[in-house]
Structure 1
Amino acid sequence: MITTTSSIFVPVEADLRLLTDNLTKLIGARHPILGAAAEHLFGAGGKRIRPAIVFLVSRATLLDQELTSRHRRLAEITEMIHTASLVHDDVVDEAQLRRNVPTVNSLFDNRIAVLAGDFLFAQSSWYLANLDNLEVVKLLSEVIRDFAEGEIQQGINRFDTSLTIEAYLEKSYYKTASLIANSSKAACVLSDTSTEVSEQLYLYGRNLGLAFQIVDDILDFTSPTEVLGKPAGSDLISGNITAPALYAIKENPYLEVLIEREFSQDNDIEKALTIVKESNGIQRARELALHHAEAAVQHITCLKPSVSTQALIDLADYVLSRLY
């Protein structure tokens, strides 16, 4: 099992360093407070997984050719969109910490955080338009729409125990997998691959993103607060019912009662977390994550062998390794 991204991302290590340097420059100094908020975000120690995937797909499809400035800009846009979505997520969730670092809304306030997120979305849209590739513009614009759709679905479905696994996966696609899937496909478009290859890489990103989200949702129940950077079980407490809880409800309907009364009685939260941990919900969610990680790897057999292709395979292994 591969347990760190640093070894996987060796083929694009220099690309990621350049990306980090460029991101703060792209935000610009016209808005000091928004600039400070963005700088805080980009310096918050993220793994840069999404732009790394863009670089790896780009290098795996270009092979011996050099990365173009448009591939590099696509990776930067991808990280901007991802970061903007995190800022808005934190406002909606009233989160105080992310990766054990204070969120923008806790450092400044909700108004500045919303504006900072909007600013990043606007900046990403501007740079996206300047790529002068309509297909790539459509792909990444769809991602921004999907983020909003996912957030709305999550808000509407709070404490809704009738949610199906299919609806959960759809929301997970909108909130996590869409960006990975569409940016992978966009990198193929910029590399001028065949339609078949670009579609396969879209499916790689879709399945990898779903596996990543399912693993995140499992860790919400199994990781200590200091590792998560937020309280354990916080998704369930806020009414966001994820795969482990959905499976657990099928085994123990009393969990449904606790959720539907929104944990309003003493010890409801502790009881709910115990039910999830003592059920087969976490194991079944692990199997679901494994299914999508394995599917992701199947979709990149169309790529020629290279260090970048191998890194994309290893990344699916890494996603699962986070559980152990």
Structure 2
Amino acid sequence: MQTDKPFGVLVTGGAGYIGSHAVLALRDAGWPVAVIDNLVTGFRFAVPGDVPFYQSDIEDQAVLARIFTEHGIGAVMHFAGSVVVPESVSDPLKYYHNNTVKSRALIEAAVNGHVRHFIFSSTAATYGIPEVEAVTEDTPQMPINPYGWSKLMTERMLADTAIAHAMNYCALRYFNVAGADPEGRTGQSTAGATHLIKVAVEAALGKRDHVAVFGTDFDTPDGTGVRDYIHVSDLAAAHVLALEELVARPDASLTMNCGYGRGFSVLEVLDAVDRVTNRTIERRLEPRRAGDPGSLISDPSRIKATLPWQPQHADLDTIIGHALQWERKLSDLRDER
């Protein structure tokens, strides 16, 4: 592919849900891309066939050094990691290894490889249970689960590394990511996923017999958890713009929330899925899960002021429609295999 971009971008976890969308967004914007993924949770079919792909672990510094050299890598987009909050509570060491220890190895390899820019997939879970209705980047970070802590530790490592070495970084703190590529090129493919919209569309298509509602006694209007849902393609677009900002401002690092600034409760989401699919999903009320806050809504003012980011899919029914479209395609993909 002919390109006027100054270097290549390595996407870690590029065969996973968000990473595969970032690969598409980078390619659509003309960036040369390479992917590393161990395929523990990712899928080879999620990476376009003409994208250089390495099935390896981000702890393998020899492989990383080779990729950096072979593809002229000047930036890393880091998505590889474990993301299930309840599992982080029951198996914290897995999360500190996958999300923190391995990130340290990746950052060290990037420094050694003279990679100048690093975009990190962080999370709103670093805020814990905030005392404000809309979370800004300056809201105190007090995680309530190992997942949040594992990501916050990596943010700290990047901040310290950027002071000591010729590297700048952007930490993007995601709120609840959902939906799928509008063109049907990739989507959330993980079996047994815990993301609410993914679970709900599976139920609507008969792949599950119900949806569990974890917690009905939160301090929210209907008692169920409230989250800020962001379309995965809008999130991927934010990563490309963040990269371009890091290149334009090599002495600056950034931390930004990624959300729309509006929350929907679990029951509101399920009502929307019923509406989009014209079906009624069975809901089973369950106790709260360990490590779940009642409400988590972003204040996206900083990202909108910093980047020319204009969300294209900031509508709950649109997000659900794209997730549903991908879920149907995924059924066909699995039938073909």
| Same fold (TM > 0.5) | no
Q: TM-score, normalised by structure 1?
A: 0.34
Q: TM-score, normalised by structure 2?
A: 0.33
Normalized per residue, the structure richer in strand is: 2
Larger RCO: 1 or 2 (CA < 8 Å, sep 6+): 1
